[in-house]
């Protein structure tokens, strides 16, 4: 849908024309695109990643192509691509939720490393922003990493503000202190907590885990203008399906208070056998009222031990932490996580 041009005037200037797709930028719908077109975008994403992280296991183009259409039932996506023949040389997507945080959109933008500084990024952004305005969104977020310095400069030119700076850290599995891992997992026989490890969450725990996951609403948000998210069992099952389709393995650990049956902490990691060397740490959270009992340390230590035993070929674990999240940074530093790069979540208010 093209926005209706303004008709009210306060000067003698003509009304602004409705947004027009610049030459070369075309709408792209992953749901209706051909397999070859989706794969071409997947290849672009893999090439862009390899340019920024050449020492990492490369992304799998087919997996990236598959993930383009991974959305929850209430999520929507508007995307654009720039083509050179059958090759995708630029891609931008705007994703947003129609039920929660309906003012907020997230933009992902990639330009082929050999085709940058030619205006493609600006042209793609223009279309994503126009789509956001059409949808009534008022705030856009996007991320940049220190491995692509030009992306941060681009963000500043757009007028965005760095809303949530984060540290990317890595721990080499072979360098972990086994005595520390053992100490952090030691609990007396009278301890009421029980540790679960799942790849698929049992039905009996779905509602309890959804409630536990919402504790992530207490994590630092910096200056992001974002409301609390509600997690439902249906969302967890949708995520399970996406993880399975992508060929990933997700290990999720949770601590259950056997006195009440409540889950008071959880942690998750993601691993793919075709990118075996690197394991990605997802969320880790402990309920505020259950903190101070060592549950976070227990979960982190037990998960690292599990990764060592069940992720063949894994050499390192990577995690993100907000710079202001001192408690979790302290745990990770004690475990041996070292700074690897930085990542910033930017925010742009649409006037």
The enclosing domain of 258 has a CATH number of 3.40.630.30
Residue 1 inside a domain? The answer is no
Q: How many domains does the chain have?
A: 2
**Is residue 62 domain-shared with residue 199, that is, in the same domain?**
no
- The answer, as to whether pTM is greater than 0.95, is no
| Residue given tokens 């649409």 in the structure block | 350
C-alpha to C-alpha distance for 74 and 99, rounded to whole angstroms: 6
Among the listed residues 134, 151, 148, the one whose alpha carbon sits nearest the alpha carbon of residue 2? 134
- Specify the 3-state DSSP secondary structure of 261: coil
Helix (H) or strand (E) run with residue 348 in it? strand 338-349
Residue 160 inside a domain? The answer is no
**Is residue 284 domain-shared with residue 326, that is, in the same domain?**
yes
Among the listed residues 154, 92, 95, the one whose alpha carbon sits nearest the alpha carbon of residue 127? 92
Structure tokens at 255: 């601590």
pLDDT below 70 — which residues of the chain? 1-23
Residue 153 inside a domain? The answer is no
- Cβ-in-10-Å burial (0-12, 13-18, 19+) of 40 comes to buried
Contact 145, 343 (CB under 8 A): yes
- Specify the 3-state DSSP secondary structure of 93: strand
C-alpha to C-alpha distance for 211 and 183, rounded to whole angstroms: 29
How far, in whole angstroms, is CA 228 from its chain's centroid?
A: 17
* Domain span holding position 337: 168-342
Give the tens place of pLDDT for each residue, 32-85: 999 999 999 999 999 999 999 999 999 999 999 999 999 999 999 999 999 999
Which pLDDT does position 351 carry in this prediction? 82
**Is residue 208 domain-shared with residue 273, that is, in the same domain?**
yes
**Is residue 127 domain-shared with residue 270, that is, in the same domain?**
no
C-alpha to C-alpha distance for 304 and 183, rounded to whole angstroms: 13
C-alpha torsion angle, residues 115, 118, 124, 127 (rounded to 10): -160
Buried b (16+ CB within 10 A) or exposed e, 80-103: bbbbeeeebbbbbbbbbbeebbee
**Is residue 223 domain-shared with residue 327, that is, in the same domain?**
yes
Which pLDDT does position 301 carry in this prediction? 98
Which pLDDT does position 17 carry in this prediction? 42
Which pLDDT does position 105 carry in this prediction? 98
Residue 6 inside a domain? The answer is no
- Specify the 3-state DSSP secondary structure of 126: helix
**Is residue 185 domain-shared with residue 268, that is, in the same domain?**
yes
**Is residue 255 domain-shared with residue 214, that is, in the same domain?**
yes
How far, in whole angstroms, is CA 263 from its chain's centroid?
A: 24
**Is residue 338 domain-shared with residue 193, that is, in the same domain?**
yes
Name residues whose C-beta falls within 8 Å of residue 306's C-beta, 6 or more positions apart in sequence. Answer: 197, 251, 253
C-alpha to C-alpha distance for 174 and 170, rounded to whole angstroms: 12
**Is residue 106 domain-shared with residue 185, that is, in the same domain?**
no
**Is residue 220 domain-shared with residue 92, that is, in the same domain?**
no
Contact 167, 328 (CB under 8 A): no
Contact 92, 108 (CB under 8 A): yes
Name residues whose C-beta falls within 8 Å of residue 105's C-beta, 6 or more positions apart in sequence. Answer: 94, 95, 96, 132, 135, 137, 139, 140, 141
**Is residue 106 domain-shared with residue 187, that is, in the same domain?**
no
Residue 347 inside a domain? The answer is no
Residue 116 inside a domain? The answer is yes
Residue 146 inside a domain? The answer is no
Residue 305 inside a domain? The answer is yes
């Amino acid at each position: 849908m093209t926005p209706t041009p303004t008709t009210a005037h306060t000067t003698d200037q003509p009304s602004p024309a409705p947004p027009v797709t610049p030459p070369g930028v075309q709408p792209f719908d992953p749901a209706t695109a051909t397999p070859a077109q989706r794969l071409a975008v997947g290849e672009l994403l893999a090439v862009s990643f390899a340019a920024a992280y050449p020492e990492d296991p490369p992304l799998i183009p087919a997996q990236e192509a598959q993930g383009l259409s991974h959305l929850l039932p209430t999520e929507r996506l508007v995307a654009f691509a720039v083509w050179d023949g059958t090759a995708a040389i630029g891609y931008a997507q705007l994703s947003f939720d129609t039920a929660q945080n309906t003012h907020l959109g997230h933009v992902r933008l990639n330009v082929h490393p050999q085709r940058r500084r030619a205006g493609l990024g600006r042209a793609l952004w223009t279309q994503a922003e126009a789509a956001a305005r059409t949808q009534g969104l008022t705030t856009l977020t996007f991320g940049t990493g220190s491995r692509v310095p030009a992306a941060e400069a681009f963000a500043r030119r757009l007028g965005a503000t760095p809303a949530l700076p984060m540290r990317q850290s890595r721990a080499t599995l072979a360098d972990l202190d086994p005595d520390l891992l053992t100490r952090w997992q030691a609990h007396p026989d009278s301890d009421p907590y029980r540790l679960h490890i799942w790849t698929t969450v049992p039905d009996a725990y779905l509602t309890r885990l959804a409630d536990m996951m919402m504790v992530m609403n207490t994590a630092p948000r910096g200056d992001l203008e974002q409301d609390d998210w509600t997690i439902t069992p249906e969302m967890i099952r949708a995520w399970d399906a996406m993880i399975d389709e992508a060929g990933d393995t997700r290990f999720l650990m949770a601590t259950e208070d056997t006195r009440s049956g409540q889950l008071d902490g959880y942690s998750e990691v993601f691993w793919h056998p075709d990118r075996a060397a690197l394991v990605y740490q997802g969320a880790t959270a402990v309920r505020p009222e259950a903190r101070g009992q060592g549950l976070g340390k227990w979960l982190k230590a037990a998960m690292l031990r599990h990764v060592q035993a069940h992720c063949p070929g894994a050499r390192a674990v990577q995690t993100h932490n907000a710079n202001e999240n001192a408690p979790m940074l302290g745990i990770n530093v004690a475990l041996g996580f070292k700074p690897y790069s930085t990542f910033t979540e930017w925010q742009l208010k649409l006037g």
